[in-house]
Amino acid sequence: MATTVGTRTVRGRLRKVFGVLTAVALVTAGGGAVATAAPAYQPLKRTQAGGFENLSVPSSMGPIQVQVQWAAHGGSSALYLLDGLRAPGDHSQWTTDTDVLRQFVGDDVTLVFPVGGHSGFYSDWYRPSSTNHQGTTYRWETFLTRELPNYLAGYGVSRRNNAIVGASMGGDAALTLAAHHRDQFRFAGSFSGFVHPDVPLWNEAMRAAMQNEGNFDVDDMWGPAGDAAWKYNDATDQAELLRGLPIYVSTGNGVPGLLDIPFGLGNTINAMGLEAMAQTATAMFRDRVAALGIPARVDFGQGTHTWPYWQRAIGVARPMILAALGTS
């Protein structure tokens, strides 16, 4: 279901939720074998049903671990799945906190799970974070759109017939990466994404969240509020570039449901506030694409900012992804 959210209401919600966001990270996020380097070229491989392989992919940031479930029938299309703000350094939470491997196990599409990117928003930063003595500059856009697809091409994976989805931090990134790299992506999806970071107050909410989650500095990422990088990495601002691309965006309303029961009261309260913010951002994105006459499926429902809801969202998106990639 969808509801109209006016400018005054949006500002009111932003003020309400801002207090929650400054106290908690933007996303609740949460194995695999030791990564090994791959040869320059191999025929497309097969993965044991429900499992994945670890690759070590060279990049300008150093070797990046990537978990891969190869296409079931040797096809060349791929789906990239991006983590949230707490992206672990040793695995993708998509592989541990959802059943996405099982959902796509019989499909002729390779699942690609980049590992890492903690508080990085999957973007190219201006410089290393100065507040935590980060050793290298994040170059995630470069990795995901140049280095990784070029590497996977050695396994027979297409550089052009890809889809991309993300949860929370990864949701906005999935849409903006698809917007700026239309030659690579044929579908984009955001689940509980903060898809309008250029809106006033958002940069301070992100500053607090990134300080809380790894002591990263938002100014080293995209500069001060109003810098061009904020608009470049804003899916709502870049909506025109998504015209003609199949899009699925979903969010909860912050009201807990049965899927929240295992997470405890404290986690659920945080997840409620975060999802209220995601709902507001999603409403602004929906209104923007509607004003531009760009078709997009945008779903609003009950739920909070937790992985079980994103598992359900990828299940809804799956037939759309397969259709866009021509593998359904």
Compute the mean pLDDT over every residue in the chain, rounded to the nearest whole number. Answer: 87
Give the residue numbers annotated as catalytic, written as ranges: 168, 275, 305
pLDDT at residue 3 greater than cutoff 70: no
- pLDDT score, position 200: 87
- pLDDT score, position 90: 97
Encode pLDDT of 205-228 as tens digits. Answer: 999 999 999 999 999 999 999 999
pLDDT-based confidence at residue 328 (cuts at 50, 70, 90): confident
d(C-alpha 313, C-alpha 199), whole Å: 25
Structural domains of the chain in order of their starting residue, each with its CATH number: 7-33+42-325 (3.40.50.1820)
d(C-alpha 210, C-alpha 220), whole Å: 11
pLDDT at residue 154 greater than cutoff 60: yes
- CA quadruple 137, 189, 318, 94: dihedral positive or negative? positive
Three-state DSSP at 308 gives helix
d(C-alpha 36, C-alpha 30), whole Å: 23
Q: Please tell me the least confidently modeled range out of 26-30, 48-52, 254-258, 299-303.
A: 26-30
Mean pLDDT over residues 223-234, rounded?
96
pLDDT-based confidence at residue 64 (cuts at 50, 70, 90): very high
pLDDT at residue 180 greater than cutoff 50: yes
Query: In terms of Cα–Cα distance, which of 231, 232, 241 is closest to 289?
Result: 241
Encode pLDDT of 12-27 as tens digits. Answer: 444 444 444 433 433 3
Residue 37, strand partner residues: 56
Encode pLDDT of 45-57 as tens digits. Answer: 554 555 799 999 9
Give how far the C-alpha of residue 115 lies from the chain's centroid of Cα atoms, to the nearest Å. Answer: 12
Encoded tokens for 315: 């299940």
